[in-house]
Amino acid sequence: MKIYNTLTRKKEDFVPLNPGQVKMYVCGPTVYNFIHIGNARPLIVFDTVRRYLESRGYEVIYVCNFTDVDDKIIKKAVEEKVDATVISERYIDECKKDMAAMNVRPATIHPKATEEIPEMLEMIKSLIDKNHAYVAADGTVYFRTRSFKEYGKLSRKNLDDLRAGNRSLQVTGAEQKDDPLDFVLWKPKKDGEPYWESAWCNGRPGWHIECSVMSKKYLGDEIDIHTGGIDLIFPHHENEIAQSEAANGKPFARYWLHNAFLNIESKKMSKSEGNFFTVREISEKYDLQILRFFILSAHYRSPLNFSAELMEAARNGLERIINCVANLNHLTKGCQVGGTITENEKMQIEQAKVFTTKFEEAMDDDFNTADAISFIFELVKFANSIVNEDSTFEFLAALKKQIVLLSDICGLIVDKKEDILDEEIEALIAQRQSARKEKNFDRADEIRDELLNKGIILEDTREGVKYKRGF
Ligand code: AMP
Ligand code: ZN
C-alpha cells in the first residue's frame, strides 16, 4: 500500500510502527457552529481510510479531537450570554448527529481539549525545562521556534523567509516575545473567559498544544498517521511537530495526510461571500449518503468543487449501485430454496473478483476513491448483465455480498433492506405455520416473501421450519 506523505512529498510504502496496528490522529472541528461541508471532507475521507485499513486486517486506533476552547466559542458564548461549555457541548452533539447521518463512524476516542488540561500543563512544563519554551512577563508561555532545528520540515518553510515575509507575525505579543516567530503554548485569561490555574498564570492553552498532548496521551509519542485539511499544514501541524518532537525526543507522525479544499462554485467557501453551506442545510435537500458519495468521487488530494449538478451526478451514481442491489434482492424472491449454483455461475463469480482486485489496487494507491468507485460501477454493470430470473440464490447472494462489501469500505449504504431481529423472524414463522394449517397458502407465501425481502431464507425440514440469514 502506498501513501502520499506530505512530509516527504512522495508516495511511500505504508509500514506501520507495530505490525497489524495503525495509530491515527485526525484534527477535528472547532465546535462553535454546525460543521460545514468543507469540514465534512476530512471526516468522510479519513473515515474511509480507516475502513479500508480495517478491511486489510489492521486494527486501527482512531483519535479525533474536538477543539472545545477557542476564541470563536467564547465569542458565541458571550453573544448568547451562556457558559462556553453550553456552546461547545451543543455543537459536539450536532456534529455527532451529522457524522452519523454521513455514516462516519465514531472515533475510537474523541478527546476534548478542556478535559486534557493537566497533560497540557505537563508538556508545557517539560518544554520550559528543556529550554524550548519560556514564560513572558504577563505569564504567557511561548514556544521558542528557533530552538527546534527542524522547524519548517513539513511546510518546507525557511525560518528566515518567514521572518522577512510575514510582518504580521510581529503584531501579537511582539514586545514580549524573544522572537516574532515564537508561538503561544499558554495564555493569560481575559475577563469573562474560561480559565485554568497554572504555575505561570490563570489562563488557557494555545490551539496547537492540544493535539500534541492528546495524540501522545491516547496513541503514544510516535504515531503512524496524522491528518487534516491542507490549511492545517502551516502553522498548526508544523507547530505540533515542533512541540511533540522537542518534548518527546522522538519522531512524531510517520505519515502526514492532507485533504485538499472543498470549494463552492469554484470559489473558496466563505460566510461573507454567502457561498457557504452547513452539512445540516445540505441534509434538507439531499440524503447525506449523496454528499458522502460526492466527496469520495474525487481523490482526497484534488480540490473539489461543490455544485448542484455534481450533487445530481452523485445521486445518479449512488442510485445505480442501490438499484442493482435492490434488483438482486428482488430476484432472490423467485429462487428455489436450496437450489444449487451452476458451474457457469461459479465461473462468473470468479470473473467478478477482478473488480475487487482493481478496487483494492486503486485504494492501495494513496486511497484513490475516485478510481475505486469506478470499479464498483464496473462490477454493478457486470452483475446487471449476468443475472436473471433463473439465477440461483447462492449466485445472487455472492454478487450482492461483493458489491455491498466494497460499498461498505466507502461507507456507502447500498442495501436498503431493513434489519430484522430473531424474535420478529420467529413470530412471522409462527404466523406462517398457522396460515398453512388454515390452508391459507397465499398468506403463507406472502410471509415467506416478506422474510426473503429482508434476506431471511426459510427451509422446511423434517424437524420443522429452519431459517438462515441469506445476505
Ligand atoms: P476547523 O474547524 O476550521 O478547525 O476545521 C476542521 C477540519 O476541516 C480541518 O481539518 C480543516 O482543514 C478542514 N476544512 C476546513 N475547511 C475546509 C474546506 N473548505 N475543505 C476541506 N477541508 C476543510
Ligand atoms: Zn490538530
Residue 206: name the closest of 59, 379, 35, 71 by CA. 71
Ligand 1 atom nearest residue 26's Cα:
10
Residue range 330-334: mean pLDDT, rounded? 82
Best residue among 46, 231, 257 to mutate for probing ligand 1, ranked by most atoms within 8 Å of CB: 231
Q: Whose CA is nearest to atom 5 of ligand 1?
A: 29
Q: Cβ-count burial of 123 within 10 angstroms (0-12 exposed, 13-18 middle, 19+ buried)?
A: buried
Measured from the CB, is residue 259 less than 6 Å from ligand 1? yes
Contact 42 CB / ligand 1 (< 6 Å):
yes
Q: Which ligand sits closest to the CA of 27? A: 2
- Answer yes or no: is pLDDT of 311 > 80: yes
Q: Is 229 in the pocket of ligand 1 (CB under 6 A)?
A: yes
DSSP class of residue 357?
H
Mutate to test the pocket of ligand 1, among 36, 39, 71, 294 (most ligand atoms within 8 A of CB): 39
Query: What is the C-alpha to C-alpha distance for residues 76 and 84, in angstroms, rounded to an integer?
Result: 8
Cα(278)–Cα(101) distance, integer angstroms: 13
The rounded Å distance from CA 50 to ligand 2 centre is 18
Using the structure block, give the residue that is written with the C-alpha cell 455472492.
398
- The pLDDT, as a whole number, for residue 171 is 52
The protein residue with its alpha carbon nearest to ligand 1, atom 6, reads 29
pLDDT score recorded for residue 424: 87
Check pocket membership of 231 for ligand 1, CB cut-off 6 A: yes
Q: How far is the CA of 39 from the centre of ligand 1 (A)?
A: 4
**Rounded to an integer, what distance in angstroms lies between the CA atom of residue 289 and that of residue 7?**
32
Closest alpha carbon to 357 in 344, 369, 372, 377:
372
Find out whether 29 and 93 touch, Cβ atoms under 8 Å: no
Give the pLDDT of residue 453: 74
DSSP E strand boundaries for 178-296? 183-188, 203-205, 223-229, 253-259, 262-264
> How many Å apart are CA 289 and CA 317, to the nearest integer?
11
153-160 long-range contacts (CB < 8 A, ≥24 apart) are 153/7, 153/238, 153/241, 154/6, 154/7, 154/233, 154/234, 154/237, 154/238, 154/241, 154/256, 155/233, 155/234, 155/235, 155/237, 155/238, 156/9, 157/234, 157/238
Distance of alpha carbon 102 from alpha carbon 337, whole angstroms: 36
- pLDDT at res. 418: 63
Q: Is 304 in the pocket of ligand 1 (CB under 6 A)?
A: no
What is the atom index within ligand 1 of the atom nearest the CA of 31? 2
d(CA 164, CA 199): 34
Which amino acid is residue 310, in one-letter code? Answer: L
Which ligand sits nearest to residue 44's alpha carbon? Answer: 1
User: Does an H or E element contain 423, and which?
Assistant: helix 422-437
Which atom belonging to ligand 1 lies closest to the Cα atom of 30? 2
pLDDT tens-digit map of 227-266: 999 999 999 999 999 999 999 999 999 999 999 999 997 7
Average pLDDT, the chain: 93
Give per-residue pLDDT as tens, 363-413. 999 999 999 999 999 999 999 999 999 999 999 999 999 999 999 999 999
* C-beta 234 within 6 A of ligand 1: no
162 — pLDDT class (breaks 50, 70, 90): confident
pTM of the model: 0.90
Higher pLDDT, 273 or 101: 101
Lowest mean pLDDT segment, chosen from 87-101, 318-332, 401-415: 318-332
Q: Minimum-distance ligand to the CA of 305?
A: 1
- Of 216-230, 284-298, 449-463, least confident by mean pLDDT is 449-463
Cis check: omega of the bond before 235, within 30 degrees of 0: yes
Q: What confidence score (pLDDT) does residue 34 get?
A: 95
Neighbours of ion ligand 2 (CB under 5 A): 27, 211
pLDDT at residue number 339: 75
